[in-house]
Amino acid sequence: MLDAASGPGRRKLVEVDGLKMYFPITAGIFRTRVGDVKAVDDVTFDIYEGETLGLVGESGCGKSTCGRAVLRLYTPTAGSVRIDGREIATLDQKDLRGLRPTMQMVFQDPQASLNPRMTVAAIIGEPLSEHTDLTRAEKLARIYELMDAVGLNRNFANRYPHEFSGGQRQRIGIARALALNPKFIVCDEPIAALDVSIQAQVVNLLEELQDRLGLTYLFISHDLSMVRHIADRVAVMYLGRIVELAPRDALYQQPLHPYTQALLSAVPEPDPEVETERRRIILTGDVPSPSNPPMGCNFCTRCPRVMDLCRREKPAFRELAPGHMAACHLYNDTNETVGPATATEASQSIQQGE
């Protein structure tokens, strides 16, 4: 499980093992449980201290749910989440509250994640009044310090969220997340609601804060180029499962899972000459319902290189190259006949993808 790129000496800050988050579907007058929406289905990953793990995938694949379950904003159906050595998946609310300062979250929609009736000072000060006994003056000093850190004018402290632009609101959200000196921050699509010029500002701010404060990020996004910019390692999710997890460069240069290949082929290239060469792998069909995923591999209904085995058996999530893990039957060692053929095929489609 150790990531070669990050070296054996680094400590795992977050360890997620077999995390499942099912939401019950109820029906009838007695509200009996007739099934589950398997939003996150058996997800395993680690995040090393000081790194950024990018979590990518299409809409509705369970990225946000995964991020929220990792912070115990939802109580997971099964599995374990260890942050800084403490198991939080089964902790009761009271003990959990004590651990909250180490883990924080930056939300997707900066408009919705700030209480419209609170001033900026009150919003940034809320974690402080919840977890510290600072005096009013000390708190104000800390609020100003945080506003400086995220590049907000101190005079904005009295203003209300609606008076700010999207980028400024996201800075308020980041300042709030930083208030308690957390170690681990889940960034739940922090840039998805911003326009491109502001996205760069916010991402640079996040990187700068990471360098200065030694933060660890779980960076959830559907923007592959932004993840390539910020993440150290990238996990790709499809229909509630992680299909591939690899160091950034390995993933972008040599994606192994057909879904990752298709996903990467959709990223537009800024160079027009490369862009005209780019050939997209167009997936057919729709994403299956997460309440009724296919029996074998979750991707078997749309995979361009599906085999019989894929429809029968779930592929194991295993290490194929050092630090490069994927869940795909294409790379089964036992499958001698398919092995070499797919390898060449894979390299072809990589070229298409690039």
Partner 1 sequence: MTDLPVTDVKAALKPPRNQWLDVWDQFRTHKGALVGLVIFIAIVAAVVIGPFLWRIDPTYVDPNPVNMLKLRNQGPSLARPFGTDQLGRDMLARMMAGGKVSIAVGLTAMALSLFLGTLIGVLAGFFRRLDGPLMSLTDLFLSLPLLPLLLLMVTLFRDSLSQALGVETGIFLLIVTAIAVTSWMHTARIVRGEVLALKEREFVLAARSIGTPSRRLVLRHVLPNVMSPIMVSATLGIANAIITESALSFLGLGFPPDFPTWGRILFDAVDQMQLYPLRVILPGVAISLVVLSVNYIGDGLRDALDPRIRGR
Q: Which residues contact 297 (CB under 8 A, 6 or more apart)?
A: 303, 306, 310, 311, 313, 314, 315, 327, 328, 329
154 lies in the binding site for partner 1 (CB under 8 A): yes
Among 11, 30, 135, 155, binds partner 1 (CB under 8 A): 155
Q: Segment contacting partner 1 (CB under 8 A): 22-30, 76-84, 105-113, 208-216? A: 105-113
For 315: left if phi > 0, alpha if psi spans -120 to 50, otherwise beta; the answer is beta
Task: Report helix angle 136-149 to 166-178, nearest 10.
Answer: 130
100 lies in the binding site for partner 1 (CB under 8 A): yes
Least distance CB 121 / partner 1 (angstroms): 5
DSSP category for residue 28 = T
175 lies in the binding site for partner 1 (CB under 8 A): no
114 lies in the binding site for partner 1 (CB under 8 A): yes
Contact criterion met (CB below 8 Å) for 154 and 185: no
107 lies in the binding site for partner 1 (CB under 8 A): yes
Among 68, 183, 257, 302, binds partner 1 (CB under 8 A): 68
Among 113, 221, 342, 349, binds partner 1 (CB under 8 A): 113
From the centroid of its chain, how far is CA 91?
23
311 lies in the binding site for partner 1 (CB under 8 A): no
Side chain identity, residue 284: T
Q: What string of H, E and C letters represents the secondary structure of 174-216?
A: HHHHHCCCCCEEEEECCCCCCCHHHHHHHHHHHHHHHHHHCCE
- Residue 163 vs 269, nearer CB to partner 1: 163
96 lies in the binding site for partner 1 (CB under 8 A): yes
Contact criterion met (CB below 8 Å) for 279 and 285: no
173 lies in the binding site for partner 1 (CB under 8 A): yes
Q: Segment contacting partner 1 (CB under 8 A): 115-123, 217-225, 269-277, 328-336? A: 115-123
Sign of CA dihedral 142, 145, 150, 152: positive
279 lies in the binding site for partner 1 (CB under 8 A): no
Positions that interact with partner 1 (CB under 8 A): 68, 71, 73, 93, 96-97, 100-101, 103-105, 107-109, 112-119, 121-122, 126-127, 130-131, 140, 151-155, 157-158, 160, 162, 173, 176
